[in-house]
């Protein structure tokens, strides 16, 4: 495992997001990286000292250490289940719209202030006057890109809830499904007018411009955003992984375990109504909350998973699945 100390931007909006992740106002985070791509953000593993990346080790682990592991929630490993956004819960619809605004539209709506050093070179590039508009800034860059060193851009805070209810409705409607987004991309103005007529209120000129520019300039980003929203509450594998063993002495991995796995999968699906992820990679199993240990899994594998707080179900004796897994807390 690798540990990095990251000194993040000290802007108020960034600190607010960090607080939502970690509960702390500090903009210095510990980022632990597990081989195979498993990543967590934490400010409890190490305490960074000021601006120096010199961590002080504490007697704690994250996870699980002295902290109570939160109940396992919806699986993060999902597939496209075909449900429309309007068929998902209201809370998620609100989250989806906020994320879409942040991801796609905020760059067009975030207030910016430009501070220009009034040098002779700047005045000369604009015919003896100082810049007054964004077009003047662009003219400076065209005249001499080096003049941009005299320009400082200061971005203001932007929150998705600043958008009008009508603009939020447009975002909600275009995230409904692939067909809705296709209609929006084909005719942004017509799509917006239809929603305005249905909700009885209008978007601001800035909101309309942001949406139409995004449709023209970032259609692929909008499609990726729709896909992310569709996967966010989609069905998944219940955070379960079936791990089978590896014999380092054999060129073909875990034949006994693979045979057991193929014989049992149909029965597992019949009992639990989902198909879990499966294989022989411990680091892949590390991404799931609950790990079923099949034939050939070593004591070392089991110890590693249990130490890091995973729920390990030992079926290394090759017994068949006969009893469904316990449901997630709060779903029984």
Q: How confident is the model at residue 114 (pLDDT cuts 50, 70, 90)?
A: confident
What are the backbone angles phi and psi of residue 120, rounded to the nearest 5°?
A: -65, -35
For residues 51 and 7, the answer to whether their CB atoms sit within 8 Å is yes
Q: Measured between alpha carbons, how far is 258 from 12 in angstroms, rounded to an integer?
A: 52
Mean pLDDT computed over 26-47: 48
Mean pLDDT computed over 166-194: 97
What are the backbone angles phi and psi of residue 56, rounded to the nearest 5°?
A: -105, 120
Would you say residue 9 has pLDDT above 80?
A: no
Per-residue tokens: 103 = 């991801």
Q: What is the percent of the chain where pLDDT is above 90?
A: 38
Q: Classify residue 178 by its DSSP letter.
A: H
Q: Give the model's pLDDT for residue 244.
A: 92
Q: 305 by DSSP, 3-state: which?
A: helix
Sign of the Cα pseudo-torsion (329, 245, 260, 303, in order):
negative
Structure confidence by residue, pLDDT tens digits, 271-284: 988 889 999 899 99
Cβ atoms within 10 Å of 84's Cβ, excluding its own: 13
Mean pLDDT computed over 18-41: 53
How would you classify the pairing of strands 240-243 and 151-155? unpaired
Structure confidence by residue, pLDDT tens digits, 40-77: 444 444 444 344 343 333 333 444 444 445 556 567 77
- Least confident stretch, 2-11, 88-97, 312-321: 2-11
Structure confidence by residue, pLDDT tens digits, 207-255: 999 999 999 999 999 999 999 899 888 888 888 999 998 877 765 566 7
pTM of structure = 0.63
Q: Measured between alpha carbons, how far is 72 from 288 in angstroms, rounded to an integer?
A: 10
Of 108, 107, 74, nearest to 92 (Cα)? Answer: 74
Q: How confident is the model at residue 291 (pLDDT cuts 50, 70, 90)?
A: very high
Q: Measured between alpha carbons, how far is 101 from 103 in angstroms, rounded to an integer?
A: 6
Place of tokens 């498993």: 38
Provide the residue ranges of all domains of the chain, joining segments of one domain with +.
2-57, 85-109+159-232, 112-155, 240-314
Structure confidence by residue, pLDDT tens digits, 76-104: 778 898 999 999 999 999 989 998 998 89
Place of tokens 């600190």: 15
318 vs 7: which has the higher pLDDT:
318
């Amino acid at each position: 495992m690798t540990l990095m100390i990251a000194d993040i931007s000290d802007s108020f909006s960034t600190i607010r997001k960090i607080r939502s992740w970690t509960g702390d106002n500090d903009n210095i985070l510990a980022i632990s990286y597990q081989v195979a791509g498993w990543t967590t953000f934490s400010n409890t593993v190490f305490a960074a000292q000021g601006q120096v990346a010199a961590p002080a080790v504490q007697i704690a682990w994250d996870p699980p250490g002295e902290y109570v592991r939160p109940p396992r929630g919806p699986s993060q490993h999902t597939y496209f289940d075909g449900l429309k956004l309007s068929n998902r819960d209201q809370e998620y619809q609100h989250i989806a719209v906020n994320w879409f605004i942040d991801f796609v539209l905020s760059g067009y709506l975030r207030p910016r202030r430009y501070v220009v050093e009034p040098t002779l070179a700047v005045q000369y590039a604009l015919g003896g006057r100082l810049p007054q508009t964004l077009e003047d800034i662009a003219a400076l860059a065209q005249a001499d890109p080096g003049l941009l060193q005299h320009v400082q851009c200061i971005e203001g805070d932007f929150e998705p809830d600043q958008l009008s209810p009508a603009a939020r409705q447009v975002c909600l409607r275009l995230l409904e499904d692939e067909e809705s987004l296709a209609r929006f991309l084909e005719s942004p103005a017509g799509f917006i007018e239809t929603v305005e007529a249905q909700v009885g209120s209008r978007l601001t000129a800035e909101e309309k411009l942001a949406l139409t520019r995004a449709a023209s300039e970032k259609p692929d980003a909008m499609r990726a955003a729709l896909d992310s929203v569709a996967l966010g509450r989609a069905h998944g594998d219940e955070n379960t992984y079936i791990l089978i063993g590896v014999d380092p002495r054999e060129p073909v991995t875990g034949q006994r375990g693979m045979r057991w796995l193929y014989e049992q999968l149909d029965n597992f699906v019949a009992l639990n109504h989902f198909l879990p992820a499966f294989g022989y990679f411990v680091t892949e199993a590390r991404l799931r909350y609950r790990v079923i240990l099949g034939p050939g899994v070593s004591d070392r594998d089991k110890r590693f998973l249990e130490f890091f707080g995973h729920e390990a179900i030992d079926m290394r004796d090759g017994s068949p699945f006969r009893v469904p897994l316990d449901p997630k807390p709060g779903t029984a």
